[in-house]
Each structure stands twice: as C-alpha cells, then as structure tokens.
Structure 1
Amino acid sequence: MRKIAVVFHSANGTTRQLAEAVAAGVEEVAGAEVIQTEITAADISAGRFYNDSFLTLLDNADAIIFGSPTYMGSVSAQFKAFADASSERWEAQLWRNKLAAGFTIGSNLNGDQLATLQYMQILASQHGMLWIGLDLPGNSGAKGLNRLGAQSGVIAQAERADLCDSDLLTARYLGLRVARLSITFTS
C-alpha cells in the first residue's frame, strides 16, 4: 500500500476543500492510502511548528502533496513554520526521493499563486523530492480541468467560500495523478 500524505494549512476552509478533493483522488487508486494532515494553531508555539508525530507520518509517506492559501505572494505563515521545522528531516534526508506536488488558492485570478507553488517546489527540491506537476493544458477536456492553466500544480481562485467545480475536479485529478505515479514509480 502506497501512502500519500496531504499536508495543508487552511485559514477559512477553502484550502481544506481542495485538500479533501486531492484526498478523494488518491482514494480512487487501488493500492494507495491517503494520510490527511492539517497544520493547526495547536501545532505552532511562538512562531515555531512543534508536532513530531505529524512529521513522523510524513517520514513514512511515499508522496507528500503540500497545500496552502496564498498570502502576500507566498505560503501562509503557518505553512512556513511547518516548512522550517522540516529542516531536521532535510539533515537526515528522510524525504529524499519521495514524490511531491502542491496546491494553492487565492481570492484573485492572479494573486501571485504561482509563487506559492514555486515555494513548495523549492521546499521539495531542498528535500531531494521529485516534483509532480499537472499534465493538463488549460481548460482541458469536457470538464474544463485546470481552468487557470497552471502546470506546476493546482491553482484555485475563490472570492468567498464557494470554489469552482473545475478547481475541485483539478485538485482531485492531482491526487489521482500522484497516487498513480507513486505506484508506477516504485513498482
């Protein structure tokens, strides 16, 4: 059984909705198991992420899909605290050769969400992980997946709590893609 972790921070529930869609995509793949882990306020003290059991779950995953809202052109402070705490894993190369992917959401059509995905890609590269992007052209297929045309990962946009069905379907597709590649890559 391949373990796919979905680790995310959500401030108002929209990133959580994307995380749930990603997890649903993972669950569609036989031989894949989803581990959903949310970064919460209880994990952070004085600006530092403290949750070793959370990080141990990720150590034992075969792939990690990162998620964060875009704030001021990057990940949320809570996600950044988690990323900083992962440096201890970096020293031991515990996440090396794991698959990685990412998703984000912003309230504007272009609120620099790509910079958030690039941050996640750099984090994954520092850990020696292998980044999985989307293999979908913008507005592909009858369902209009990847309506915003991002190739690095899922970019969603919502002005309120309502997400576009296309963004949720694209998030589900990302989970499906990572799970399938995890099984193929390690077979």
Structure 2
Amino acid sequence: MTPPPYVLVLFYSRHGSVSEMAKHIARGINKINGIDVKIRQVPEVSETTKVAAPALPDDGAPYCTLEELADCSGLAIGSPSYFGSMAAPLKHFIDQTSTLWLTGRLMNKPACGFTSASTMHGGQEQCIYSMMTPLIHHGMVWLGLPYKNKELIHTQAGGTPYGASHLANSTHETDLTDDEKALCEAQGKRLAEMAIKLKK
C-alpha cells in the first residue's frame, strides 16, 4: 500500500520561536484532507570539524533525512534570521542536496518559508529570500502569503507576503501573536492545497 503524500515542515530553531511556528504551519496543513505532515529539524553545525552531532536530537522533532526531503509533496522551510540570512545549520543541510538537484527530485513541488527575528526590521524578508533561492534552483514552486489573509494588513508583529514571520521581542520570547499564528496556519493550509493540486 502506497503511503499518503506528505508536506515536510523543515526547520532550524535555536531558541524555540521557529519551532513554535512550525507547529502552527503543521496545523494549517492538517486542515486539508488527503495529505499528511512531517515535522523535521536539522542538527546544529559543530564549531569544530571533528565533533559529530548525535543521531537523535535531545528533544523536539527528529532530524530530517535527504530521503524525507526527496519524497515530500511540498516543503515549508524555516529559520531564524541571522543578519538577514538563514542559519548555518539549515544552509549546511541544503548544501547536501546536490544529488536531489541532479535528479530533479524536488522539481515542480510547492515550497514556502517562515522565519523569526528579534527586531522589527531584523531581515525577516531577506532571510526568506535566502531560503527561497536554492529551492528555485531545485525547480520548486514558491508560495507567498496573499493579502486575502487580513492579518497581513493589521499585524503589529510578524507577517510578510513573502512568508510567515515572528517578531520575538527578546531572544527567548517564543509566544506568537494571534495574527502570527493565523498567518502560519494560512500558509500551511495554502501549501497543502497546492501540493495536492500539483501532484495530480
């Protein structure tokens, strides 16, 4: 029996806010019948080249495998914004996907991005662009957040038309606003709907 298609929610989260966003994106995906969701994270990148990451994380979602990425029907990718770019552990994982690029395993699948930063203009949109670029090279179809989601207009925190975002007022502030939660769920729902359409 063929397993049902799934959307992969793949992220790196240092202080917990991106992980929290991933849960709300998964809730949006779960609102659509006929598709499952897998939540996965990437391991830390060691500061020394001789220390390997453990095979399993101490807590949270399991680590993603390249096969899980290759087999997904859609991808939501998330990272904190570090100087307007994705975090090194996520970039390190993406840099290992050359074989998927060579074989076109991600081509024509929908993708979206989400991010968190601790200042209003902390590079959220640029970080989403940094995640979008390699996925476009893979031939994925990028999805933003349309303004039919009214939270984009009146949010006083995170939220961009390029993808869901969170404004963390401090490094360890992980509570999302109602608008941020709604936008995460809307993004997950839209991604799941598109994954089903593109799979036909």
Q: Say which is worse superposed, 35-44 or 166-175, in terms of deviation.
A: 35-44
2:166 maps to a residue whose letter is A
Equivalent residue number for residue 26 of structure 1: 29
CA contact (8 A) 2:10 2:64 kept: no
Q: Normalising by the residue count of structure 2, what TM-score does the alignment of the two structures yield?
A: 0.82
Closer, same or farther: CA 53–109 of 1 in aligned 2, 3 Å: closer
CA contact (8 A) 2:12 2:41 kept: yes
- Structure in which a larger fraction of residues adopt strand: 1
CA contact (8 A) 1:49 1:85 kept: no
Q: Deviation at 1:88?
A: 2.5
Equivalent residue number for residue 185 of structure 2: 172
Q: Deviation at 1:81?
A: 0.6
Quote the Cα distance in structure 2 between the aligned partners of 1:136 and 1:142. 6
Quote the Cα distance in structure 1 between the aligned partners of 2:64 and 2:94. 15
RMSD: 2.9
Equivalent residue number for residue 136 of structure 1: 147
Quote the Cα distance in structure 1 between the aligned partners of 2:54 and 2:137. 20
Quote the Cα distance in structure 2 between the aligned partners of 1:45 and 1:107. 27
- Structure in which a larger fraction of residues adopt helix: 1
Closer, same or farther: CA 49–129 of 1 in aligned 2, 3 Å: farther
Alignment of 1:1-187 (within 5 A): 1-41=4-44, 46=49, 54-136=65-147, 140=150, 148=158, 150-159=160-169, 160-187=173-200
Closer, same or farther: CA 50–132 of 1 in aligned 2, 3 Å: farther
Q: Deviation at 1:120?
A: 1.4
Give the number of equivalent residue pairs. Answer: 186
Quote the sequence identity (%).
Answer: 27
Q: Say which is worse superposed, 156-165 or 98-107, in terms of deviation.
A: 156-165
Identify unmatched segments of 5+ residues in structure 2. 56-62
Q: Deviation at 1:121?
A: 1.3
Q: Say which is worse superposed, 151-160 or 46-55, in terms of deviation.
A: 46-55
CA contact (8 A) 1:96 1:128 kept: yes
Moved over 4 A (4+): 42-45, 47-53, 141-149
Q: Normalising by the residue count of structure 1, what TM-score does the alignment of the two structures yield?
A: 0.87
